[in-house]
Structure 1
Amino acid sequence: MEKIAKVSSGTLPELTLCMAETFMGIPYVAHTLEGNANEQLVCRFDALDCTTLVDVSVALALAKKEDLTYEQFLSIMTQLRYMGGVIDGYPSRQHYFLSWRNQGVASGLLNDVTEGLGGISYDKQINFMSGHADLYKGIDSETALNKIKDNEQAVNAEEYKYIPKTSVRNIESKLQDGDIIGITSTIAGLDCNHQGIVKMQKGRAYLVHASTTAKKVIESPEPLADYLNSVKRHSGIIVLRLNG
């Protein structure tokens, strides 16, 4: 927390990037939110995955900007991570990036700027979790499965844009520090494989993210377009911009 206390003021996107950078070198650990008998808020600074890096960084930025207490920070975390800001079992957590996106846009926290950057229709049925329920310990009953299916239906009711990875190089210079990137997936039923936060350098976008390859939080050594093209299961990006 000492590094966080030293973060200077700025816009919400700038603060979010600063917060993410304070976690450089923190170990990547998968499934950090799992393992509790009952769903509860988990907030760790010693181990992160790509999802928790983003939501923790946004929540810390909001708390820093408004000079909030740690308890108020935890309340923001709950608002970001759970549907309607209410913890009501495993299915109430926003497991899909698009679900997180939808709530953030509806609340006014986020703008989806993908279309304005030249995005095209992202027509895909999202149903990976319900189709692979055996992979998720939290889907432990028919009731939980049906709630997951309801959540997927809500995601599928919206329209989305994405920028194919072959086009990302052309728009990199239009990205901004603190933009939140959802990396879309070629895997059937899955919306996004990965996510991270943009850092601009000399007109190129780099990704601050919890890397499964490096096993820690890093700034990508290659620009975003090059990184996307190096991973076959990545199909493109969705770009979210924080208000404030």
Structure 2
Amino acid sequence: MKLTNTLMSSRVLKRIGMFSLLIPCTWWFNHVSISTLNDLYFEPDVVAVCQSANDSLLFLEKQRIADQESSLRARTLLIARSFLGTPYVHGCLDRNPEECLAVNLCELDCWTFMENSLAIALAAPGDYADYKKHLQELRYWGGFVNGYGSRIHYFSGWLLQNEKRGILQDLSLEMGAVPYKKQIGYISARPAKYPKVKEPENLRALRAAERRINAHAWYYIPQNKVAQMEHLIQEGDIISLTAWKKDLDIAHQGFAVKVNGRMHLMHASSLGKKVVISKQPLPENILSQPGQTGIMVARLRD
């Protein structure tokens, strides 16, 4: 991937004075609550963007597929379908030594598949720079790129921030979910697996993010109850598969799609090595996965 410096849109500074620019990032991550993230937002003038020459062309191609759809959910789902067959690559966002806004529409993992589909759907028609702006706002706490620790590393955090931004709504509780009681800390506890966590500023930022996630009340639908709730799930809903590991929130994610009257999961599969639609309906698929305990369901707002 080629590293370029791309000029983003003008500064947006809300509800804080210019003095706040002097506040160290580590203080910000340790003291700013999730409730303020939607109001406290600074977008720097220049953000390093890692991208290939083909990404802007692929963006235009994908966006044209859904340009007649007025619904965000319908646009996102059509764009997601256009990625079927795209190769799966693990760790798409961790290839570069320095944190940058990674754009890669040629290879996807389960998270970037969903994130890119949504960012393309949110972008203004034909505006590649606007797509990158939305991608940044979806991916980073407060939309601010400032090193590894500024990126959202837990999908529950991604859901939390983007519900606060009005992009989606977590419907798990309304669907009869039960409390999901966990203390999330998987990444900060495993520096050997995640070497960048060894850097003190990254560790501080990550632990602050974990505290924000743990302060929120989470709910999930246990795997043996998913079949009872299947009729409540709609096409295009974001399905998060909860993890059995004690300090990990979500193991996998995808979009709900209907096949022969049943809900299936469209996702970037590490097993299939590409974006696929699950062969089994969602309830059966969840029961067949030993590392997953149930689901959370979120719906995009139109």
TM-score of the superposed pair, with normalisation by structure 1 = 0.96
Helix, strand or coil at the partner of 2:299: strand
Deviates more, 1:196-205 or 1:159-168: 196-205
Name the counterpart of 2:159: 101
Task: Give aligned-pair identity as a percent.
Answer: 36
Unaligned runs of 5+ in 2: 1-57
Name the counterpart of 2:180: 122
CA contact (8 A) 2:255 2:265 kept: yes
Name the counterpart of 2:114: 54
The answer to whether structure 1 residue 225 and structure 2 residue 266 are counterparts is no
Q: How has the CA–CA distance of structure 1 residues 238 and 159 changed in structure 2, closer, same or farther, with 3 Å as cutoff? A: same
User: In the alignment, residue 247 of structure 2 is paired with which amino acid?
Assistant: G
Which has the higher Rg, Structure 1 or Structure 2?
2
Helix, strand or coil at the partner of 1:129: coil
1:174 positional shift: 1.2
Higher RCO, 1 vs 2 (CA within 8 Å, ≥6 residues apart) = 1
User: In the alignment, residue 218 of structure 2 is paired with which amino acid?
Assistant: Y
The answer to whether structure 1 residue 5 and structure 2 residue 64 are counterparts is yes
Alignment root-mean-square deviation, CA? 1.2
CA contact (8 A) 2:149 2:201 kept: no
**Equivalent residue pairs, number:** 242
Query: Residue 75 of structure 2: which of 15, 26, 29 is its match?
Result: 15
Name the counterpart of 2:248: 190
Helix, strand or coil at the partner of 2:297: strand
1:108 positional shift: 1.0
Helix, strand or coil at the partner of 2:197: coil
Name the counterpart of 1:181: 239
1:225 positional shift: 0.7
Name the counterpart of 2:99: 39
1:171 positional shift: 1.0
1:239 positional shift: 0.5
1:68 positional shift: 5.2
1:202 positional shift: 4.4
Deviates more, 1:191-200 or 1:132-141: 132-141
The answer to whether structure 1 residue 136 and structure 2 residue 189 are counterparts is no
User: In the alignment, residue 175 of structure 1 is paired with which amino acid?
Assistant: I
The answer to whether structure 1 residue 91 and structure 2 residue 149 are counterparts is yes
In 1: Cα distance, 2:260 partner to 2:171 partner = 21
User: In the alignment, residue 81 of structure 2 is paired with which amino acid?
Assistant: E
User: In the alignment, residue 217 of structure 1 is paired with which amino acid?
Assistant: V
Helix, strand or coil at the partner of 2:102: coil
1:6 positional shift: 2.5
